[in-house]
């Protein structure tokens, strides 16, 4: 956790620095008449200070030799499952305008049930087919949510 | 007398067929997600926000509130039957509730939990009815410096009570502020939009909430394969006997009071109140050794406390516009999406929402009692649904909700991004609640800050020269300094470990 603290502290410090520099490009005004850049400027200074203390704290605890902690993932399979999960979300996002709501939903649900839910082919196909059908009629036909018009298919 | 008149007006709003039916929907969905571990009320309310867009604001708030307090009822069912809290607030119920189930007393455990929840929920709403109007009237005296100070206090206490490091909680609240700054500011400056037109109106609340709560929660659960077993017992005799009632009467009364008081304080007060109530009952008990072995007081007290705390949670939201927890932050978001500003003027400008919501809570508690006792069989069956079936559906709802918010694919990108951010935050010990609260409060906080400075001609002492603002900021400072002293720090750590 201490290594993670150090890493997240550095990332957050850099984020603060980026916001600080970007804030300088907005009208700062004065304390009497604050401009749009003043509030983010002050908040970014505070963020850099706190991120700095998080980094120092992590170094200090490491030097004190505090016990190091459990690994980032809870199981061996976890990183693979997380990557597959986010890949499915991104895939769904990009398939949606390409092949339409019903078909992309079917593919998405099938992918999740088969590869993350660990169901067999038959169950996954059946579940994804039913879900896509119900979702299509519920959201697109009944609730009339204007889903993107597909480039391919229906 | 005026309050009586107002509450009657509230009931006339709450009992319209639309409000009544959506209150029932809210209570039903609340119980459902309370029963199901792996999805909380904040995520559910975020998921259902787009569904409320076409509803009148009062109806939307009535339904979303029902989800919140309904989840507290449902959480205990899972705790008693499966030994897994459906809701964090029901964690302590596992101890004696599950033991009662093992002793063949699942029925009375579920019964006293539902009755205790009903009594405490109603008592809590009664306190809310009495206390909210004078607090709102007092808050009308607040100028920009006081509003700024109250928001700082809210953020400080929420950060103090967030699990993990205080520095991390403050950092993540600042990140929330920056997210809230994206878009056009009050003086017309485009900030942090990077030329992307979708960001000109700011980053949408719905995709942020769905990402942080919906997707991140599912991803965390996906790391492991869920297995759970419902305790194999026939549930019979849901009505507690006379001895059960005698043992539970005082725990319910104490739980109602302590729950409401703690509910007003920012942080995971539903959870804290149930732990405090359990500790209190154990201390008051003549036979504390029975606790942990199926003592009904250990179910009655905490379950009452967490329901009463729900009503307490609404005080800062309805009177000051300050959310005290992640769920309340989402509810404040719902107010804003519907063009209503929660705060001291709510009672004056939107009495239909204020009194309608309060009145609906009385009705909602009766609905929940009916939903949770005669229909217990349904919830037991729901418990058997595999997470493998549930999580694709949750993600599908996130997707449809995220897209339907503005019919925008860009918002789906935002949602997936915040899903990843939320997941990484959880893994690195950053809580999402301060981020969401700061993000929602940002425009109000900045406006109050800038107006205060303009008013004082750039003099920062305005925040400490005005007595109310100075008092509020002193409290905020006390919370920060409390963390510096190791004794208090240890106490905080112990409290958070319990949570």
The ipTM of this complex is 0.91
- Residue closest to B269 by CA, chosen among B327, B343, B230: B327
Across all residues in chain B, what is the average pLDDT?
A: 84
In chain B, domain spans? 2-143+202-417
Q: How many CA atoms lie within 13 A of A16 on its CB side?
A: 21
| Residues forming a β-bridge with A29 | A34
User: In sequence order, which ranges of B140-241 are alpha helices (DSSP H)?
Assistant: 144-161, 166-181, 205-209, 216-222
Residue A28's domain spans which residues? 2-63
Residue for token pair 């520095």: B167
Phi–psi pair at A70, nearest 5 degrees:
-60, 160
Question: CB of B304 within 8 A of CB of B314?
Answer: no
Given A63, A97, A113, the domain boundary residue is A63
pLDDT digits (tens, 9 = 90+) for B134-189: 888 888 888 899 989 988 888 887 777 666 678 888 999 999 999 999 999 888 88
Locate A10 and state its tokens.
Answer: 């550095």
Q: Which residues of A touch B453 (CB under 8 A)?
A: 31-32, 34
Q: What is the mean pLDDT of residues B263-267?
A: 77
Q: Residues with Cβ < 8 Å from B479, sequence gap 6 or more?
A: B153, B156, B157, B160
Question: Which chain B residues contact residue A117 at CB under 8 A?
Answer: 386, 388-389, 391-392
Are β-strands B183-184 and B190-191 bridged in parallel, bridged antiparallel, or unpaired?
Answer: antiparallel
Hey, is the C-beta of B439 within 8 angstroms of any chain A C-beta?
A: no
| Judgement on whether residues A48 and A12 belong to the same structural domain of the protein | yes
Q: Is residue A68 one of the residues assigned to a domain?
A: no
pLDDT at B272: 80
Residue A148 covered by a domain: no
Q: Do the chains contact at B219 and A82, CB–CB below 8 Å? A: yes
A74: tokens are: 């809870």
Same domain membership, residue A106 and residue A59 = no
Residues 6 or more apart whose CB falls under 8 angstroms from that of B209 comprise B42, B43, B46, B49, B330, B333, B436
Cβ distance B407 to A145 less than 8 Å, yes or no, reads yes
Residue B210: how many CB atoms within 10 A of its CB?
Answer: 33
> Is position A73 within any domain?
no
Residue ranges for chain A with pLDDT beneath 70 = 1-2, 62-70, 153-154
Kindly state the tokens that stand for B408. Answer: 């925008």
pLDDT tens for each residue of B414-448: 999 999 999 999 888 888 888 888 888 888 889 99
Query: B426 — contact with chain A (CB < 8 Å)?
Result: no
Surface of B (56-115) touching A: CB under 8 A: none
Residue A112: the pLDDT is 92
Classify residue A154: in a domain, yes or no.
no
**8 Å CB contact between A102 and A136:** yes
**Distance between CA B301 and CA B281 in Å, rounded?**
7
* Residue A108 shares a structural domain with residue A136: yes
Query: What's the sign of the alpha-carbon dihedral A53, A59, A63, A65?
Result: positive
Is A72 inside a domain boundary?
no
Top residue of B38, B190, B400, B402 to mutate, by most chain A CBs within 10 Å, is B400
Confidence at residue B348, expressed as pLDDT on a 0 to 100 scale:
83
- At residue A29, the 3 state secondary structure works out as strand
B152 touches chain A (CB under 8 A): no
A88 and A45 in a common domain: no
> Taking the model in full, what pTM does it have?
0.80
Assess whether A52 and A97 both reside in one domain: no
Q: Tens digits of per-residue pLDDT, B239-260?
A: 888 888 898 899 999 999 988 9
State residue B326's pLDDT score.
Answer: 79
Count of domains forming chain A: 2
Inside any domain, residue A149: no
Contact present, A153 and A103 (Cβ < 8 Å)? yes
């Amino acid at each position: 956790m201490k290594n993670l603290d150090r890493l997240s502290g550095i990332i957050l410090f850099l984020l603060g620095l980026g916001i600080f520099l970007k804030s300088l490009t907005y009208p700062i005004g004065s304390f009497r008449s604050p401009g749009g850049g003043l509030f983010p400027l002050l908040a970014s200074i505070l963020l850099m200070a706190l991120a700095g203390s998080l980094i120092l704290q992590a170094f200090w605890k490491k030097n004190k030799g505090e016990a190091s902690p459990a690994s980032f993932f809870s199981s061996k399979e976890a990183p693979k499952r997380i990557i597959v999960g986010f890949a499915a979300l991104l895939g769904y996002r990009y398939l949606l305008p390409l092949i339409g709501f019903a078909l992309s939903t079917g593919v998405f649900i099938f992918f999740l049930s088969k590869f993350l839910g660990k169901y067999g082919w038959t169950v996954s196909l059946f579940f994804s087919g039913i879900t896509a059908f119900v979702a299509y009629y519920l959201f697109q036909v009944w609730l009339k949510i204007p889903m993107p018009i597909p480039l391919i298919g229906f | 007398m005026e309050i009586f008149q107002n509450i009657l007006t509230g009931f006339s709003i709450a009992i319209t067929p639309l409000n009544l039916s959506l209150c029932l929907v809210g209570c039903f969905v609340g119980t459902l997600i309370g029963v199901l571990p792996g999805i909380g009320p904040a995520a559910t309310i975020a998921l259902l926000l787009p569904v409320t867009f076409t509803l009148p604001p009062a109806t939307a708030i009535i339904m979303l509130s029902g989800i919140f307090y309904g989840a507290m009822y449902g959480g205990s069912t899972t705790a008693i039957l499966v030994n897994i809290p459906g809701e964090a607030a029901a964690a302590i119920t596992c101890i004696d509730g599950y033991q009662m189930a093992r002793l063949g007393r699942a029925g009375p455990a579920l019964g006293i939990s539902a009755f205790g929840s009903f009594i405490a929920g109603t008592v809590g709403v009664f306190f809310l009815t009495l206390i909210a109007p004078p607090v709102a009237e007092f808050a009308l005296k607040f100028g920009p410096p006081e509003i700024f100070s109250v928001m700082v206090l809210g953020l400080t206490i929420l950060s103090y009570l967030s699990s993990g490091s205080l520095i991390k909680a403050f950092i993540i609240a600042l990140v929330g502020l920056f997210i809230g700054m994206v878009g056009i500011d009050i003086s017309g400056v485009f900030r942090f939009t990077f030329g992307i037109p979708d960001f000109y109106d700011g980053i949408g609340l719905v995709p942020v909430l769905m990402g942080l709560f919906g997707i991140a929660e599912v991803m965390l659960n996906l790391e492991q394969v869920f297995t759970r077993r419902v305790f194999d017992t026939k549930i019979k005799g849901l009505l507690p006997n006379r001895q059960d009632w005698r043992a539970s009467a005082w725990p319910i009364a104490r739980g109602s009071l302590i729950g409401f008081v703690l509910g007003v304080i920012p942080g995971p007060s539903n959870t804290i109140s149930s732990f405090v109530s359990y500790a209190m009952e154990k201390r008051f008990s003549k036979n504390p050794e029975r606790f942990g072995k199926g003592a009904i007081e250990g179910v009655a007290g905490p379950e009452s406390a967490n329901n009463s705390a729900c009503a307490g949670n609404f005080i800062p939201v309805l009177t000051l516009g300050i959310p005290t927890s992640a769920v309340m932050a989402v509810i404040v978001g719902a107010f804003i999406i519907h063009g209503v500003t929660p705060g001291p003027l709510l009672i004056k400008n939107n009495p239909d929402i204020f009194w309608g919501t309060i009145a609906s809570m009385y009705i909602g508690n009766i609905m929940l009692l009916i939903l949770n006792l005669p229909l217990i069989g349904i919830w037991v069956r729901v418990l058997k649904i595999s997470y493998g079936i549930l999580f694709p559906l949750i993600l599908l709802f996130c997707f449809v909700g995220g897209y339907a918010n503005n019919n925008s694919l860009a918002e789906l990108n935002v949602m997936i991004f915040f899903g990843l951010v939320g997941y990484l935050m959880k893994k690195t010990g950053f809580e999402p609640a301060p981020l969401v609260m700061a993000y929602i409060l940002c425009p109000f906080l900045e406006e109050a800050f800038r107006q205060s400075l303009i008013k004082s001609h750039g003099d920062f002492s305005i925040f400490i020269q005005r007595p109310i603002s100075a008092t509020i900021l002193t409290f905020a400072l006390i919370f920060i300094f409390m963390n510096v002293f190791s004794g208090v720090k240890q106490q905080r750590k112990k409290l958070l470990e319990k949570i």
